[in-house]
């Protein structure tokens, strides 16, 4: 999905590498709307000339800017920006080179405090398909630990009509995968990922607490045990899957088993219709195929319900969706919504998508 952002190119020219530079700064004095307009008009014209795209956020006298384009163009603009007396306390957050743009169609999108994320999901993009830049912004906010901005952003998207559960698949899971891409590119470390994921997870929990379940869906459920695979440190995927099942009327038990024995004890003690084993949504855990296969065999043998439906999910299964029979699962899923529909079809049940009551989310702050 992110690759769709890489669409702006001067005719007949390919850019194999895009330099991305992200910084924040403080306005020297509060900037009035006309001052901002002047700044942006000139910036856009120069950015267009140099092939630079990106986003500028201004709120509470703070700037946050994302610049991307040919390395020499970005450097040239960055040299000017650093010397600009209109702001100070300039903090470079990140500067790296990669092969795609997130804001390819904007010479410099201005985003205000009042509606930062909603502005990024505006015209030109199908309602359900969020702008890839938004996914990048969400990932960056999670890395920055900006919990309030993540919650505010999700709220805005709900206000403009996005569905909360749909955002799991269109924004939160892709942001987690983008963090995984950044890890693969050596831009961030394992600890940063873990912290960023916890910010995403806690924002989803906070927003989720303000959303009511749709009553009529209650009968559709069953009992499911949702467990992270033993040793898996990324729990975001399991949390999102749990959210989707719970809101669809399922009784959800969550488990973070230390080993196969702990998981089997749980399955022996309770009568579950389904077991969902979650690997990381962020990183492709290919080395887990063997252990997961043994785990599923042991889980089936231990289950008090011989007809237990076993699901497995995580980033690994997005790239290898045909793995289910090899690991002994009934199905594998690629995201939280997919987990529900595949579980229902494995159980031979009709599928009705989960719904939430429409309406404005209450303000959290």
Ligand X SMILES: Cc1cc2nc3c(=O)[nH]c(=O)nc-3n(C[C@H](O)[C@H](O)[C@H](O)COP(=O)(O)O)c2cc1C
Nearer of residues 23 and 250 to ligand X, judged by Cβ:
23
* Vertex 311: Cα angle to 308 and 312 (nearest 5): 145
Q: Does 344 bind ligand X (CB under 6 A)?
A: no
Q: Does 93 help bind ligand X (rule: CB under 6 A)?
A: no
62 close to 25: Cβ distance less than 8 angstroms: yes
Question: Closest approach of Cβ 212 to ligand X, in Å?
Answer: 41
End-to-end CA distance of the chain: 32
CB of 104 to ligand X, least distance (A): 15
Q: What are residue 91's phi and psi, to 5 degrees?
A: -120, 115
Q: Is there binding between residue 55 and ligand X (CB under 6 A)?
A: no
Q: Does 170 bind ligand X (CB under 6 A)?
A: no
Rounded to 5°, the CA angle 323-326-332 comes to: 40
For 121, the token pair is 């999901």
204 binds ligand X (CB under 6 A): no
Q: Which of 70, 41, 40 is nearest to 56 (CA)?
A: 40
Range 101-140, binding ligand X (CB under 6 A): 108
Distance CA 362, CA 286 (A): 41
Tell me the C-alpha distance between 359 and 127, whole Å: 16
Taking Cα atoms as reference points, which of 127, 123, 125, 141 lies closest to residue 64?
A: 141
Interface with ligand X (CB under 6 A), residue from 81, 225, 292, 311: 81
If binding is defined by CB under 6 A, does position 47 make contact with ligand X?
yes
- Name the nearest CA neighbour of 353 among 245, 211, 208, 198: 245
- Interface residue with ligand X, options 2, 21, 22, 43 (CB under 6 A): 43
Q: How far is the CB of 84 from ligand X (least distance, A)?
A: 3
- Member of 20, 55, 63, 100 binding ligand X (CB under 6 A): 63
Q: Is 129 helix (H, G, I), strand (E, B) or coil?
A: coil
Q: Which of 1, 39, 159, 289 binds ligand X (CB under 6 A)?
A: 39
Residue 46 touches ligand X, criterion: CB under 6 A: yes
Looking at 39-47, 92-100, 224-232, 328-336, which segment touches ligand X (CB under 6 A)? 39-47
53 is an interface residue for ligand X by CB under 6 A: no
Query: Which secondary-structure segment (H or E) carries 67?
Result: strand 62-69
Residue with Cβ nearer ligand X (81 or 179): 81
Stretches 80-88, 271-279, 290-298, 331-339: which one binds ligand X (CB under 6 A)?
80-88
The nearer residue to ligand X, 62 or 211, going by C-beta atoms, is 62
106 vs 272, which CB is nearer to ligand X? Answer: 106
Burial 302-317 (b: 16+ CB within 10 A, else e): bbeeeebbbbbbbbbb
| Interacting span for ligand X (CB under 6 A) from 35-43, 165-173, 212-220, 354-362 | 35-43
Binding of residue 90 to ligand X (CB under 6 A): no
Cβ closest to ligand X, residue 72 vs residue 259: 72
Determine, following the binding rule CB under 6 A, whether residue 37 of this chain makes contact with ligand X.
no
Number of residues that bind ligand X (CB under 6 A): 16
The answer to whether 153 and 99 are in contact (CB under 8 A) is: no
Question: Does 98 sit near ligand X (CB under 6 A)?
Answer: no
CA 333, CA 356: separation in Å to the nearest integer?
A: 22
Distant-in-sequence, close-in-space partners of 209: CB < 8 Å, separation ≥ 6? none
> In terms of CB distance, is 24 or 206 closer to ligand X?
24
Degrees, nearest 5: CA angle 38-41-45: 145
58 SS3 class: strand
Instruction: Give yes or no for residue 207 binding ligand X (CB under 6 A).
Output: no
- Nearest distance from C-beta of residue 290 to ligand X, angstroms: 50
Residue ranges in contact with ligand X by CB under 6 A: 39, 42-43, 46-47, 56, 63, 65, 67, 77, 80-81, 84, 86-87, 108
């Amino acid at each position: 999905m992110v690759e769709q952002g890489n669409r702006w190119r001067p005719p007949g020219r390919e850019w194999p590498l895009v330099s991305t530079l992200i910084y924040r700064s403080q306005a020297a004095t509060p900037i009035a709307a006309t001052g901002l307009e002047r700044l942006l008009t000139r910036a856009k014209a120069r950015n267009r000339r140099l092939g630079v795209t990106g986003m500028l956020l201004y709120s509470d006298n703070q700037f946050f800017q994302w610049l991307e384009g040919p390395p020499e163009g970005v450097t040239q603009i960055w040299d000017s920006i650093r010397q600009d007396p209109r702001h100070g306390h300039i903090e470079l957050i990140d500067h790296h080179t990669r092969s795609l743009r997130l804001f390819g169609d904007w010479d410099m999108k201005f985003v205000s405090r009042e509606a930062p994320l909603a502005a990024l999901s505006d015209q030109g993009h199908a309602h359900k398909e969020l702008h890839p830049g938004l996914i990048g912004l969400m990932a960056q906010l999670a890395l920055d630990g900006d919990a309030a901005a993540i919650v505010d952003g999700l709220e805005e998207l709900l206000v403009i009509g996005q569905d909360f559960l749909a955002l799991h698949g269109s924004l939160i899971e892709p942001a987690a995968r983008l963090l995984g891409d950044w890890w693969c590119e050596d831009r961030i470390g394992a600890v940063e990922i873990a912290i960023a994921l916890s910010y995403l997870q806690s924002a989803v929990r906070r927003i989720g607490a303000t959303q009511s379940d749709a009553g009529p869906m209650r009968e559709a459920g069953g009992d499911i045990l949702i467990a992270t695979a033993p040793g898996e440190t990324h729990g975001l995927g399991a949390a999102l899957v749990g959210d989707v099942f719970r809101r669809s009327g399922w009784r959800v038990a969550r488990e973070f088993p230390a080993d196969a024995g702990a998981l089997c004890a749980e399955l022996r003690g309770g009568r579950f219709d389904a077991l969902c084993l979650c690997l990381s949504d962020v990183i492709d855990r290919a080395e887990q195929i063997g252990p997961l296969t043994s785990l599923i065999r042991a889980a089936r043998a231990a289950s008090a319900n011989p007809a237990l439906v076993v699901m497995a999910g995580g980033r690994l299964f997005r790239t290898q969706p045909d793995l289910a029979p090899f690991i002994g699962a009934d199905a594998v899923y690629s995201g939280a919504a997919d987990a529900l529909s595949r579980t229902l079809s494995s159980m031979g049940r009709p599928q009705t998508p989960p719904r939430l009551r429409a309406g404005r989310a209450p303000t959290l702050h």
